[in-house]
Chains A and B, each alone.
Chain A
């Protein structure tokens, strides 16, 4: 069976986790010509509540569409981190927002803790692009999709007026992750 790479984006409703999942899946399936499946679970709230998106990427066909053993998980809230980190695989990666997640998840995986939302606020002026910045970080940490593919996918999904902002968010994500990797 073809190897699967599983990513889980989690946070609260309104943080753009599902959009991040869609963009990651498009980067893989449309621009890197791999196979990808994006799925999600959500509650009745349009804003708030725990929100989760999953992307499975493979060179072959993807039968089971949900995560089996998560290779990388992003958590932007404490609730998401505690609730969804159970099935991260041994040796996998968990990337958490250091301000939101005070209680880091325990397991045989590497935890990267970084002030994602605060960085989006200070360096980009808008917390709303924290999800795009996260995509840059995940791409840098995993190389599961190419930098070109994720950039094309991001730019294809955002309104023209925000192209530069999102491009910059992605770039900052790449850079911050490089530093994180080097430090670990």
Chain B
């Protein structure tokens, strides 16, 4: 095989490359720092592959148009940052309820409110889970390198299409604006999942057919005519007030993700086999954590790292396993303590759980993690 060409890409550019690789052909967005480069690049690249790019009038319209594009049959993306992610929540809820695949990229910056637009944070991780109202499924991926932004964006599209649900990719300003050498995978090298269409006739088609966990989805094309609504609905898509059907609908959109939690959850484990101190860290801070673990290992300290690529659904199994073997789990986050609550829930008192938190717009330095590791070693 010919040697592949390495390119120095920015995280946001790698996101756009990943989207194109996954077959994304529709982008709707609104400019916001620090995510704008995703839109800029797709505005250039999408027309070249016959795809559609539109800059909408606001963030709400952007998620709405992206969902509309997906309903009409194109794999759709929108990218934003904190304030825009807040505005998009009602649309994300609609996509959960109506079971419309789409991908939302949130390049996290400091908040709340306008906060620190050019600085990083990890303070939207709970919003990614609970941001929209009502009970709903959440699938959220947290890449930590530029190469991973590409591959996780592809995986986000795959999960969105496979489970008919919105999927969020969360990374922070550091990785979003950072440049690293990236190898663009050849076609076929990464899995690309396409939406499953119906095999039945238009007359027999039920958009929410209860014989399936994830019913086939007929786009608004050709002869399939049906109804989509954000109201609680029956298998035929029409609204209902029937308590039993409301219960069925509310549970099934959550269950389809819960049932597949283990296959959706992906993690990187570093030295966890014999670790007596664990670090749970995601996104760009996962890199500080890996640096810290590698450094203390050179001095014989048995530290290990669990770095989830999927934070929602939460990797209960992997965290639980780690809790069995370590004295303490350190949770460094660029927020005032968000994922640590999930870690504590799973650990359930089996070991100490210690947070390291930073909200000054600077990344957590490896030395901060090393200091805490040494305190517990």
Q: A residues near B, CB below 8 A?
A: 1, 22, 25-26, 29-30, 35-44, 62-66, 68
Give min CB distance, A32 to chain B, whole Å.
11
Instruction: For B179, list chain A residues within 8 Å (CB).
Output: 22, 25, 37-39
Instruction: For B295, list chain A residues within 8 Å (CB).
Output: 1
Q: B residues near A, CB below 8 A?
A: 6-8, 117-119, 174-175, 177-181, 284, 287-288, 290-291, 294-295, 298, 363, 365-367
The one of B8, B290, B294 that contacts A36, using a Cβ cutoff of 8 Å? B8
Known contacts A39-B178, A63-B287; A68/B8 CB under 8 A: no
Is the pair A22, B8 in contact by a Cβ cutoff of 8 Å? yes
Q: Can you give 18 A-B contacts (C-beta < 8 A)? A: A25-B8, A36-B8, A37-B179, A37-B180, A38-B8, A38-B180, A39-B177, A40-B177, A41-B119, A44-B117, A62-B180, A63-B290, A63-B291, A63-B366, A64-B291, A65-B175, A66-B363, A68-B365
Known contacts A1-B294, A65-B287; A38/B178 CB under 8 A: yes
> In the complex, A42 Cα to B9 Cα: how many Å?
18
> In the complex, A13 Cα to B96 Cα: how many Å?
43
Is the pair B181, A35 in contact by a Cβ cutoff of 8 Å? yes
Instruction: For A39, list chain B residues within 8 Å (CB).
Output: 174, 177-179
Known contacts A35-B181, A36-B181; A64/B288 CB under 8 A: yes
The closest CB in chain A to the CB of B178 belongs to A39
Instruction: For B363, list chain A residues within 8 Å (CB).
Output: 64-66
Is the pair B366, A44 in contact by a Cβ cutoff of 8 Å? no
Is the pair B6, A37 in contact by a Cβ cutoff of 8 Å? no
> In the complex, A44 Cα to B115 Cα: how many Å?
12
Give min CB distance, A12 to chain B, whole Å.
15
> In the complex, A63 Cα to B7 Cα: how many Å?
19
Give min CB distance, A84 to chain B, whole Å.
13
The closest CB in chain B to the CB of A42 belongs to B118
> In the complex, A40 Cα to B363 Cα: how many Å?
12
> In the complex, A77 Cα to B221 Cα: how many Å?
59
Is the pair B178, A37 in contact by a Cβ cutoff of 8 Å? yes
Instruction: For B6, list chain A residues within 8 Å (CB).
Output: 29-30
> In the complex, A66 Cα to B361 Cα: how many Å?
13
With most chain B CB atoms within 10 A of its CB, the pick from A29, A35, A44, A63 is: A63
With most chain B CB atoms within 10 A of its CB, the pick from A22, A41, A65 is: A65
The closest CB in chain A to the CB of B363 belongs to A66
The closest CB in chain A to the CB of B294 belongs to A1
The closest CB in chain A to the CB of B146 belongs to A37
Give min CB distance, A10 to chain B, whole Å.
16
Which 8 pairs between the two chains have the least Cβ-Cβ distance? A63-B291, A29-B181, A38-B179, A64-B291, A63-B290, A39-B178, A63-B287, A26-B8
> In the complex, A68 Cα to B294 Cα: how many Å?
15
Is the pair B180, A63 in contact by a Cβ cutoff of 8 Å? no
Instruction: For A63, list chain B residues within 8 Å (CB).
Output: 287-288, 290-291, 294, 366
Instruction: For A36, list chain B residues within 8 Å (CB).
Output: 8, 180-181
Instruction: For B118, list chain A residues within 8 Å (CB).
Output: 41-44
The closest CB in chain B to the CB of A53 belongs to B179
Is the pair A30, B287 in contact by a Cβ cutoff of 8 Å? no
Is the pair B177, A30 in contact by a Cβ cutoff of 8 Å? no
Instruction: For A41, list chain B residues within 8 Å (CB).
Output: 118-119
Is the pair B174, A65 in contact by a Cβ cutoff of 8 Å? yes
The closest CB in chain B to the CB of A22 belongs to B179
Instruction: For A30, list chain B residues within 8 Å (CB).
Output: 6-8, 181
Instruction: For A22, list chain B residues within 8 Å (CB).
Output: 8, 179
With most chain A CB atoms within 10 A of its CB, the pick from B178, B294, B298 is: B178
> In the complex, A64 Cα to B295 Cα: how many Å?
12
> In the complex, A35 Cα to B8 Cα: how many Å?
10
Instruction: For B367, list chain A residues within 8 Å (CB).
Output: 68
Instruction: For B119, list chain A residues within 8 Å (CB).
Output: 41
Is the pair B7, A66 in contact by a Cβ cutoff of 8 Å? no
With most chain A CB atoms within 10 A of its CB, the pick from B8, B175, B177, B287 is: B8
Instruction: For A38, list chain B residues within 8 Å (CB).
Output: 8, 178-180
> In the complex, A65 Cα to B284 Cα: how many Å?
8
Give min CB distance, A2 to chain B, whole Å.
10
Instruction: For B7, list chain A residues within 8 Å (CB).
Output: 30
> In the complex, A38 Cα to B310 Cα: how many Å?
25
> In the complex, A96 Cα to B131 Cα: how many Å?
48
Instruction: For A42, list chain B residues within 8 Å (CB).
Output: 118
Instruction: For A35, list chain B residues within 8 Å (CB).
Output: 181
Instruction: For A29, list chain B residues within 8 Å (CB).
Output: 6, 8, 180-181
> In the complex, A66 Cα to B365 Cα: how many Å?
9
